[in-house]
Structure 1
Amino acid sequence: MDWVRGLRNAALAAPLLVLAACQSTPESRLYTLAVVPPAGTAQPARSAPQMLALGSLDLPMLIDRPQIVRRIDGNRVETLEFDRWAEPLADGLRSTLAGDLSARLPGTTVLPTAGSSVADGTAVVAVTVLRFDADATGRVVLDAQWSLSPGAGGRKSGPTRETVEVPSAGTGPDAQVRAMSQAVGTLADRIATGMRR
């Protein structure tokens, strides 16, 4: 009799197990940064190098992950588990910054990576990102340092710190990624201006 009761309980539990197995998790949404055109018409600069390579590009471990990160307050962040980068953030940031710099420095060939060695006369810009996230209101903050090694015979510039704040059109991940792309474009504006000095 006990085995009949056990069989009956198993028969009743089977549909519940099937329903539980059929539940699906939400699909991940994948995002990439986008190149943002300069505000005005970019003019060639006499002082800009003919070749520019992006050297080291360092990210804090806090944001160097597949999930998009949002700052909740001064001491807390959240990772958006189903809103992810389509590629490693460092790679996406590198290619986007290279595209943004290329749009702002006509006449300069911008290489997204310096490689192990660069040709004579190629300037190298190194970037260290200190913060790159959005707060609870959607405002994106990009805090970075950059320095320029101008190539053959030039003097290396000391690090220049840039803090870019971009208000977002909303608090969702779509608006956050658009604002992050805008922040990278603004950083490229400032690097290009610094290179022309």
Structure 2
Amino acid sequence: MNIITACRPKPPLLIAFVIFLSACASSPTPRYFRLAVPTEVAVTPDQGANGRAVIVGPFQLAEYLDRPQIVSRDGANGIIVADYERWAEPLDASFQAVVTANVGRLLGSDRVLEFPATTILKADRRVTGRISRLDVDAGGLAVLVVQWGVLDGAGEVARPGSVSRYEARATDEGVAARVAALNATVMEFSADLAAALR
């Protein structure tokens, strides 16, 4: 009898177990977002660039951005990591892919490829850089700060490195609108990069 009684779950433990199960059952489902190429991009045939072969990347991420969760700015020094709002793929890979596609379409060229395409394309130009900021603040202002430069086929500097900053305002407080604003900053950078490659 004593053995049977000792094996029965005690009410406080049972209650704690039920609470734990209910908490697990009510956890939000993660939502996934990605940067994207705009459906309408003004195309200028790549006559000025003489059909140069361009390799875009790699782009290095600031450490605070190198995570699957979407990061927002909280004041001057704080960040908020959204546990249930995530990037669908690594942000550096997504950024590089979108910039490559944007620049290719802006130049009207099919010779703009992503790093590491050096094995299949002898590049006339190579773009590299570092993303030091890509986030949205509490007021819905999206900011991209990127250090970038252009090398020639021999690895020499074709365009000196510089730091560029881009801003766009989210249309509402939703995450989709914030990602769209970030996407707009990436498009602006792509346009400047395409102009530098002409």
TM-score normalised per structure 2: 0.85
**Which runs of structure 2 are paired with 1:46-85 in the superposition (5 Å)?**
46-48=47-49, 49-85=51-87
Q: Residue in 1 aligned with 2:183?
A: 181
C-alpha deviation, 1:155, in angstroms:
5.3
Give the Cα separation in 1 of the matches to 2:53 and 2:193: 15
Contact persistence 1:59–1:129 (CA under 8 A):
yes
Give the Cα separation in 2 of the matches to 1:111 and 1:185: 17
The change in CA–CA distance for 1:8 and 1:123 in structure 2 (over 3 A counts) is closer
Q: Residue in 1 aligned with 2:96?
A: 94
Give the Cα separation in 1 of the matches to 2:155 and 2:48: 14
The equivalent position to 2:131 in structure 1, one of 101, 124, 129, is: 129
More displaced stretch, 100-109 vs 112-121: 112-121
Any stretches of 5+ residues in structure 2 without a counterpart? none
Within the alignment, does 1:141 sit opposite 2:143 as a pair?
A: yes
Give the Cα separation in 2 of the matches to 1:109 and 1:118: 11
Within the alignment, does 1:44 sit opposite 2:45 as a pair?
A: yes
Contact persistence 1:150–1:156 (CA under 8 A):
yes
Give the Cα separation in 2 of the matches to 1:121 and 1:14: 66
C-alpha deviation, 1:119, in angstroms:
4.0
Q: Secondary structure at the match of 2:150?
A: strand
Give the Cα separation in 1 of the matches to 2:193 and 2:39: 15
Give the Cα separation in 2 of the matches to 1:81 and 1:19: 21
The change in CA–CA distance for 1:154 and 1:107 in structure 2 (over 3 A counts) is farther
Q: Per-residue displacement from partner, 1:13-52 (whole Å, max 9, x unpaired)?
A: 525523431332111111111112455x321133324321
Letter in 1 for 2:189: L
Q: Percent sequence identity over matched residues?
A: 25
**Which runs of structure 2 are paired with 1:99-110 in the superposition (5 Å)?**
99-110=101-112
Aligned-residue CA RMSD in angstroms?
2.8
Q: Residue in 2 aligned with 1:150?
A: 152
Contact persistence 2:68–2:91 (CA under 8 A):
yes
C-alpha deviation, 1:194, in angstroms:
1.6
Q: Per-residue displacement from partner, 1:123-151 (whole Å, max 9, x unpaired)?
A: 21112112111111111000112211232
TM-score normalised per structure 1: 0.85
Q: Secondary structure at the match of 1:46?
A: coil
Give the Cα separation in 1 of the matches to 2:78 and 2:12: 45
Give the Cα separation in 1 of the matches to 2:9 and 2:156: 81
Contact persistence 2:166–2:188 (CA under 8 A):
yes
Letter in 1 for 2:46: A
Give the Cα separation in 1 of the matches to 2:53 and 2:64: 32
Give the Cα separation in 1 of the matches to 2:185 and 2:44: 21
Q: Secondary structure at the match of 2:109?
A: coil
Contact persistence 1:37–1:185 (CA under 8 A):
no
Give the Cα separation in 2 of the matches to 1:160 and 1:118: 28
More displaced stretch, 137-146 vs 120-129: 120-129
